[in-house]
Amino acid sequence: QVHLVESGGGLVQPGGSLRLSCAASGSIFGNNVMGWYRQAPGEQRNLVASIGSLGGTNYADSVKGRFTISRDNSKNTVHLQMNSLKPEDTAVYYCRYSGPIYRPDYWGQGTQVTVSS
């Protein structure tokens, strides 16, 4: 059982920045992948960025160069620094924990990010 608590979402103007945080607690397996996904109305939930236990990262093409994912393994926390935000970044952002394949993935509650002037 893994519990994810997200923070940092909100309303921001185009070109602005937000920093999302996700803290994981519970039965955390050391070798895990944590990531951020987003889902806009009428769209599928898509990967934004992910990061492995050793720091390897993966980004969606649409956010490369603008977003940075990082993690603090001692705190089981993952962050998403979002810069140069665009209206198309508006979505509900979800934190995900992925451990061994024989265990289920866990998702945060989702946090709304709205980019609008």
Encode the chain (117 residues) as per-residue pLDDT tens digits. 999 999 999 999 999 999 999 999 999 988 999 999 999 999 999 999 999 999 999 999 999 999 999 999 888 999 999 999 999 999 999 999 999 999 999 999 999 999 999
Specify the pLDDT at position 77.
Answer: 94
Specify the pLDDT at position 74.
Answer: 85
Q: How many C-beta atoms lie closer than 10 Å to residue 102's C-beta?
A: 5
- Whether 108 and 5 have beta carbons less than 8 Å apart is answered as yes
Alpha-carbon distance 16 to 33, whole Å?
Answer: 28
Q: Is 87 exposed, middle or buried (0-12, 13-18, 19+ CB in 10 A)?
A: exposed
